[in-house]
Structure formats: structure tokens, C-alpha cells
Structure 1
Amino acid sequence: MPSDTSDFQRRIASLVAIEQGAGAEPRALTAALMQAALDTGIRKELRSTVAHALEQATGEAAKELTDLACRRLKPGNRLTDPQFAGLALVASKRGKRWIYRSQASGKQRQVTLGHYPAMTLAGAREKWATVRSEGLDSKVADMRSQMTLEALADAYADAQKAKGLKSWQRTRRILEKNLLDRHATMTLGDVSREVLEDCYTHLIDGQPGAAHNIRMAISGMFTWAYETRRLPTGLTIGTLRKTPKSNIKEYVPPTAQLRVMLRGLDGLRRVDADILRFQCLTGTRMSEALGADWSEIDLNERRWTIPANRMKAKRPHIVMLSRQAMELLERREGREGRVFEKRDRKTVSMNWAARRDELGLPTDFTSHVLRKALLTWVADNGGGRDIRDRLSAHSQGKSADAHYQLSELNSPAAEWWQRWADHLDAVEAGGNIVMINEARA
């Protein structure tokens, strides 16, 4: 902090006065505010960031990119070259790469020129001049082959995130661990179907579920790259070796384990027990149950309307509340804000995992299998595909007719949710009945 605090306060007050009525030029006012920020004594990365911005505001920024700045560039940041339009150095945890961006025919194009320090600053400028002189549009097909798998994965993750897909982080982790760990710097010109299949085929027998997830992540990325014209001419990956879903372990808790789970909820903190029981009664995902808000629930109509922005399918989902679900909600305190306080998924999942181990239940018994238990029971008891899709918020198609048919099933859906809740009561009580999977076990 400045030695004279009162003097510093007077400076801020004068800046506010300038902003309110003295008519200061925006750039000068911004520079003054940033200088005042530096005077507070901020340090390290925040100080260097503000100092760089101050140089830009005062016109004192470096007129030329230097090799020293390139060497000091840290992961997650980028440097642009003021004298070479579109040329930039981008740093990630795996290294630094030169990129060139250009506007052509109303579209922005980007190519990777090379990697630093193998390609020096001078080399990047020389490559920039070549691409500029020959035209990016005429060279883009050839330049696509020089894009690395890491650069493609970065662009794919950014596109998924921009669409609001919640799965983008999981997809990125899968690609990072199974593809980029060995092939991050491999260019698209060197990629082959064999290279991609080698990332998961060794897991098919022992870990078929993991193999399936890896294949879907890689296949999804290359499908997107093809649709957005990022693949070089001549690159044909084709259909990757399949990992049949029939080989993926599909665990559904048998009645005995479901009974242990329901009776064991009393060993959890009340709010966590209520979340899991509510999830079980409604067949919803953990994120949907955790986000339940009183504004979404109509106690008079006995319905819970989950908004589209919290649903995987991006469509509103109406849950018809059973008598047991209503009783659970009526036990919760308050009628504003989140129903289950501000619990986060990680905490609830960890608490359940610890309790599950105490109860001697298998690790496969996650909260998500409660959805499978509901849908399996409905199918075993004569519920058709349409009602199962209605209960789980799935759709048999993208047509308007498919959505309309589901919306007309509120009444029968309410009956099935009530029958399921009554079934859970019987399971927990331990009556002499045959239930989920017991006849098959």
C-alpha cells in the first residue's frame, strides 16, 4: 500500500470526480485508474497484467515481440506480434505453438505454423510472410495437415463449451489421458486409423466401458473436425473399430441391495439422505435433484418442472410427484431458494460412497443406477418404451410428433411414479415379494 494512505484516497476521489463530470478521455481515465491499482502494491501475475494493460493504454507497449517475451510466456497465455498481423504464440501445459489467424470470405481461419522453440520467432515471421504472400485460402488445405492433435482437441473443447455442453470437460479429460498423453504433437498429416484405435483397443476385453468412452470421444472430435472442414485433404479415418455396448457392464441393483441402500440412508446426514431418496423416487440425475428450486415445484398440482437449461436434453421435464415425494418435500424447511440447501455433487457423492462401503454395497452402486432401477422395474412390469422415455426425459426421436406424444403422458406417468414409490416402500419394509432382478439372479 502507499505510505500515505490519505493521499492515495484523495487520488481515487479525484479520479471519481473526473469520471463524474470533468469529461476525461476514456483512455486517460483508464490509464489513471490502472496506475492507481499499481500503487496499491499488487504483486506477481496480477501486477504484470495490469502493468502490461497500462502500457497499452498509454501507448508505451512494446512495438515488437521479443524472444525474451516468448521464453517467459506461461501456460494459458498468448502473445501477439504487433508488426505481423494475425501472428501469435499460444502457450499450454504441453508447450508453445505459433498460430496464424486471418479473415477470408467472411470467415476466420486459423493454422498452426510450428512449435516454439523449435520454430524461432524469426522462423515464425518467415513462415507468416510465406503464408501471407501465397494467400491463406490457397494454402489452408496444406496447412491443415500441420495442425496437431492437441490443437484440434483444444478447438473441439472450445466448440463444445460454446454450445453449453456440460460434457466438454469430461471429453477433454478422456482425450488428454488416452490420446494426447502420447500423441499431442502428432500432426493431422501423420494421423492414421491405427494410431487412434491403438488408444482403446487394448481395453476392450478388460475395461469395455472405458474403451467405449475413449472411442466415442475420439470419434466425436474427428466427426466435428470433418464437419467444420478442419481435416486435411486425403485424410480418411473411416469408422473406428467398434466397442459393442453389449460388452459394457450394465449394473442394476438387485432387490436385496436396493433394500440395504434404502434402509442405510438413515446413516447419512439428513439433507444427503433426502437428496438420494428424492433422486430415487423421481428417477432424476444427481445434478437435477441438487438443483431443485422451490420456484420449480407446484405443491398444489404435485408437479416439479425442471427447466431446459438444467436438463441434458435441453428440454423442460415435468416430474409428477408421488405421495412419498410430496411428504419428503413437505419435511424440508423453507419455501424459497434451493430445496436441498446448496449441496454440491462432489460432497454428496463422497458421503454416499463412504456410506456405501460401510453397508458392503458394490462400488457400481452409484446414485445414477437408481434411474436404471426405475426404468428396469417399469419394463419388467409392462411399461412400454413411450412411458419409460417419459419418466427418464428421453425422446424416441427429434420430430415434433415425438415430443408431443411424450407431453401427453403426464397422467400415466404420474401413475407409474406412484407405483414405483409404493414398490420402494415394500422393498424397504422387506415384504415377501419378488422384485428387481431377483427372479433372474
Structure 2
Amino acid sequence: MALSDMKCRNARPDLKLQKLSDGDGLQLWVPPTGARLWRLAYRFGGKQKLLALGTYPAVSLAAAREARDAARKLLAAGIDPSEDRKQRKVLQYGFGDSFRAIAEEYTAKLKREGRAEATITKIEWLLSFAYPTLGTRSIREIDAPAVLRVLREVEVRGRYESARRLRSTIGSVFRYAVATARAQNDPTYALQGALTRPTVTPRAAITEPKAFGALLRAIDAFDGQPSTRSALQLMALLFPRPGELRAAEWSEFDFDKAIWTIPSGRMKMRRPHQVPLSKQAVEVLRGLHAITGRGALLFPGIRTAKRPISDNTLNAALRRLGYGKDEATAHGFRATASSLLNECGKWHPDAIERQLAHVENNDVRRAYARGEHWSQRVDMMQWWADYLDKLMAQNGKTIERRSKPLSKV
């Protein structure tokens, strides 16, 4: 019996999938979830096939019948309606529907949006694990078990965190495909909880004041590259993310206003960040300028001045000072500053969070706090530098940082 609009509207879900027929292969599917889905069942090349025609009531009964009639005309002409739809989408968007084609288009979109080069490289590296198995397959044919097989191949190597990030990245590709009408769903949602949860090991950091003072004295006595010593001193004084400091350029520093402005392209949250410079930080920077000030970078690499020092340079320097990876890391200076600044009770927690460039999740609160706490942060950073000088003191005397003042920067 043919369907009516009233019957479509009154269709209610049951414990099992219901298939209401309108004739000539047109069916209204009502799964237990309550959705109402138009499907066209047909045979082509001796095989039973299915074509999705949309959802009711977004696609009315009349529109679904028109789509059915159009599909039957294609069948009469010897054309598979499913393949015809795929070809039309290729012509519409100018690309194929393979997983790799869509993934590469997705990464190209991220590049146009100005995502950090390191982020793009990491995404492309993760996707390389999926290409051998999924790369040439139509994204519509890839289901959750197929994705899980790829993730398991990464898991068996003990790379649990990489497997979890790969699931997220594959999910982003699928959601992009859904948005561009080349996929109907993201199968990675069904894999939540299917992967081994990695053990999270926090980065090592010294948070006891006396022990931190010993580290500061060791840094001051560092006998390696003077620029590396300056980098460690600035990590302690300014506690940025290591990558933000390593790639810093002299043009970002305003010594008259005592401000370091980090551009959005190097910030984790893609927002520019300003750092107040204490007198001690300016002194270290002036000394460093005498060494590397002729170039653009504060910390140029040894092989080429066009690239900064590697991400391992600072950690290697800490190892050379005798601090193991379970004792101190370059990133750990942030945890040290956060702990000691909060424990002293002198500064508003929001000011500390803003200085750490931690972004408020609430959009309204973030907009309100954008310019908040600047004057307190200026005072806090000078207090922090003075406090570090006290921690460095031996026998009541403060050690002067080894740097060469420059008359003009």
C-alpha cells in the first residue's frame, strides 16, 4: 500500500527497524532512534543495492517519489543511480571521494586557515598511518571496524597516545566529508572507549623553592653555549612554552615598553600574547643581543641562522647540568612558576593563568578578560624576577646573572 503524509508523520520507532514501503522500491525506514529515512532499494548488475534519499520531513513524500522516479529512469538507461550521484559530486567539488583525497583537501584547508606548520606536519604524519589501508577507499564505504583495524596497528606498537590522536584526526576528516556531502556520518564516534588509554606522565618540574634556587645557580654556572644559558634564564624568568621562546625574533621585543609580543602563529591557542619584561629579563636579553643580535632569531641553530635551536637543546642542557628527565624539563619551568606564584598568595589566579597564556573556555568570560590583569601581571613578573634573585642567593649574597649589557638595542 502506498504511503501518505499522515502515515509518514505518525510513524513511530519500535524496538526493531521498521520499513514502510511506498512501492517501486521506495521505503521509509524508522529505526529505534526515531529518525525517518528515505531509502530506495533496487537491483543493478545482478546485485541488490540501496540509495539514500534524505530524511523525512526535510524531504517530503512527494520529493522522495520524484527522486525514486529519476533513479528508475537512470536504471532504464543502464546507469547505476549510486554511481551517477558519486560522479555528480566529483564534478561539483572537483575532487574524488577517496579517504586520501578528502584528507589532503582537509589539510589544505587547515593551511589556508594559517594553522602552525608543526600542527600540519603532525596531522599529515598521523594520516600516513591510515593511507595504506584506507587511502584509496571511498570514504562512504569506510565503517567503524575498518578504522579500528588501522588504530589497532598503531596500538600494537605501544603507541597508545598516537592511536588516540589518529582516531581524532580521522574523525576530523570524516566530519569534513559530511560537511561537503561526501559522507553521511563519522564512524569514529562509535570507537570512543575502544582504545587503550595511555598513562599520562606529567612533565617533570621542580616546585620546591630551595631546590629551584639550586637549579638557577646551576644555570648561571652553565659552561656551554652562552645563548643556551640565556635561554634557560629566560625560561625561568618568563616561563613561556619552550617553542615560543626558541623561535622568538628580535623584532617581537620592545625594550622601551618592556614587552615581548608573541605572534598568534606561534601560540598554542592561535592568539597573540604579550609578556611583560622584568628588569632582569631585559638585562639577559641585552646580553644575548650582543651574541645573536645581528640576525633575526634570538636562538639561531648551529647549522643555519635561519632556523632556531632544536626542541631538544634546552632539555639536553638540563641533562648536562645533572638534572634527569624525571627531575626537570624545559616545559617544567611553567609548572614551577604556576605552583610558586599561586602558593605565595600575592596574585590573582586569573592573572597567573593569563600570563601562562591559558585561554578561558567560556567565550563571554574570555572576551571580558582579554585586557584584564595587565597592570598586575607587570607587577607580578617583576616580583617573580626579584624572587628568583633571592632564591639564587648564597650565604646572603645574590648572584649576578652573567650577561653583557648592551648600551642600545
Partner of 2:338: 375
Secondary structure at the aligned position of 1:254 is classed as coil
Q: Distance in 2 between matches of 1:299 and 1:193?
A: 55
Could you say if the C-alpha distance between residues 210 and 135 of structure 1 is closer, same or farther in structure 2, counting changes exceeding 3 Å? closer
User: Quick check: 1:287–1:345 contact (8 Å CA) kept in 2?
Assistant: no
Superposed displacement of residue 402, structure 1: 1.9
* 2:307 counterpart of 1:351: no
Superposed displacement of residue 160, structure 1: 1.3
User: Quick check: 1:378–1:388 contact (8 Å CA) kept in 2?
Assistant: yes
Q: Which runs of 5+ in 2 are unaligned?
A: 1-78, 397-409
1:107-128 CA distances to partner (integer Å, 9 max, x unpaired)? xxxxxxxxxxxxxxxxxxxxxx
Could you say if the C-alpha distance between residues 277 and 309 of structure 1 is closer, same or farther in structure 2, counting changes exceeding 3 Å? same
Could you say if the C-alpha distance between residues 237 and 394 of structure 1 is closer, same or farther in structure 2, counting changes exceeding 3 Å? same
User: Quick check: 2:126–2:162 contact (8 Å CA) kept in 1?
Assistant: no
User: Quick check: 1:290–1:345 contact (8 Å CA) kept in 2?
Assistant: no
Superposed displacement of residue 395, structure 1: 2.2
Partner of 1:409: 373
User: Quick check: 1:286–1:345 contact (8 Å CA) kept in 2?
Assistant: no
Partner of 2:66: none
Structure with bigger RCO (C-alpha 8 Å, 6+ apart): 2
Superposed displacement of residue 253, structure 1: 1.0
Superposed displacement of residue 270, structure 1: 0.8
**1:5-404 residue pairs with structure 2 within 5 A?**
134=84, 138=88, 147-166=97-116, 167-176=119-128, 178-200=129-151, 203=155, 208-231=160-183, 233=184, 236-238=187-189, 240-242=191-193, 247-255=199-207, 258=212, 261-265=215-219, 266-333=222-289, 338=296, 340=298, 342-343=300-301, 347-363=309-325, 365-382=328-345, 385-397=349-361, 399=363, 402-404=366-368
More helix by share: 1
How many matched pairs? Answer: 301
Could you say if the C-alpha distance between residues 306 and 218 of structure 1 is closer, same or farther in structure 2, counting changes exceeding 3 Å? same
Q: Distance in 1 between matches of 2:163 and 2:85?
A: 42
Superposed displacement of residue 369, structure 1: 3.0
Partner of 1:418: 382
1:5-36 CA distances to partner (integer Å, 9 max, x unpaired)? xxxxxxxxxxxxxxxxxxxxxxxxxxxxxxxx
Q: Distance in 2 between matches of 1:320 and 1:154?
A: 40
Say what the alpha-carbon RMSD is for the aligned residues.
4.2
1:111-152 CA distances to partner (integer Å, 9 max, x unpaired)? xxxxxxxxxxxxxxxxxx999x957675559x9997333223
Superposed displacement of residue 191, structure 1: 1.9
User: Quick check: 2:175–2:186 contact (8 Å CA) kept in 1?
Assistant: no
Could you say if the C-alpha distance between residues 135 and 241 of structure 1 is closer, same or farther in structure 2, counting changes exceeding 3 Å? closer
User: Quick check: 2:248–2:298 contact (8 Å CA) kept in 1?
Assistant: yes
Secondary structure at the aligned position of 1:305 is classed as strand
Q: Distance in 1 between matches of 2:104 and 2:199?
A: 31
Secondary structure at the aligned position of 1:301 is classed as coil
User: Quick check: 1:258–1:427 contact (8 Å CA) kept in 2?
Assistant: yes
Structure 1 vs Structure 2: percent identity of aligned residues? Answer: 24
Q: Which runs of 5+ in 1 are unaligned?
A: 1-128, 433-441
Partner of 2:401: none
User: Quick check: 2:264–2:271 contact (8 Å CA) kept in 1?
Assistant: yes
